[in-house]
Amino acid sequence: MGLNLESKKAIVAEVSAQVASAQTVVVAEYRGIEVGNLTQLRAKARQSGVYLRVLRNTLARRAVEGTIFSVLADQLTGPLIYSISSDPVAAAKVLHDFAKSNEKLVLKAGAHAGKALDKAGVQALASIPGREELLARLLGVMQAPVSGFAIALGALARQREAAAA
């Protein structure tokens, strides 16, 4: 049974709200994927804070119309699953990681910062470390001089104790 006009408007409004706060949108063909695998994909998306949804392409076009993601309009054909996130790499990472283990999910296109991405662009975006990993690396770099200084002071203190004894 088809969707009535009110249901369609509600879906477009919901997706438009997600797109308004998003930095990245990635689309992939999901033809032939079993329900159990889609359930796993949805669970991974929820854990990563990614909005994941199967939509009619005409409704998706209306939702991205007038936004920085309107560059995707030409790519919205076929059975697609939409991955939308406010984290710049999360949407691409979730679909790319799932596509590695399930060849039936085919990355098609994406958009980030108003620029359209092809499959290779989405894969490159997915290879960028996530926000938490980048922050952890930054913290490690910031702590290195302090920990080196503390180790040097400890060694100096041990030398003085050895000389005094």
My answer on whether 51 and 101 are in the same domain is: yes
Q: Based on the domain organization, do 9 and 82 belong to the same domain?
A: yes
Asked if residues 6 and 14 have their Cβ atoms less than 8 Å apart, the reply is no
Q: Note whether 15 and 38 are same-domain residues.
A: yes
Grade residue 148 by pLDDT with cuts at 50, 70 and 90.
confident
User: Does 143 share its domain with 67?
Assistant: no
Q: Is the pLDDT of residue 138 over 60?
A: yes
Query: Residue 96 is part of which domain span?
Result: 5-128
Residues 103 and 49 in one domain: yes
Decide: 28 and 83 in contact? Cβ < 8 Å. yes
33 and 112 assigned to the same domain: yes
For residue 98, give Cα distances in angstroms to 44, 84, 106, 112, 144.
9, 15, 10, 20, 35
Average pLDDT rounded to a whole number, residues 63-90: 88
Query: What Rg, from alpha-carbon coordinates, does the chain have?
Result: 23
Q: Are residues 12 and 79 in the same domain?
A: yes
Residues 6+ apart with CB under 8 A from 27: 72, 75, 76, 80, 81, 82, 83, 108, 109, 110
75 with 14, same domain: the answer is yes
- Let me know if 52 is exposed, middle or buried by CB neighbors in 10 A (0-12, 13-18, 19+): buried
For the segment 32-76, what is each residue's pLDDT rounded down to a tens digit? Answer: 889 899 999 999 999 989 999 998 989 989 988 888 898 888 888
Same structural domain for residues 96 and 136? no
Q: Residue 1 — very low, low, confident or very high, per pLDDT cuts 50/70/90?
A: low
Residue 25: the pLDDT is: 92
Q: How many domains does the chain have?
A: 2
Same domain, yes or no: 114 and 136: no
Is the pTM higher than 0.85? The answer reads no
Residue 117 half-sphere exposure toward CB, CA atoms < 13 A: 27
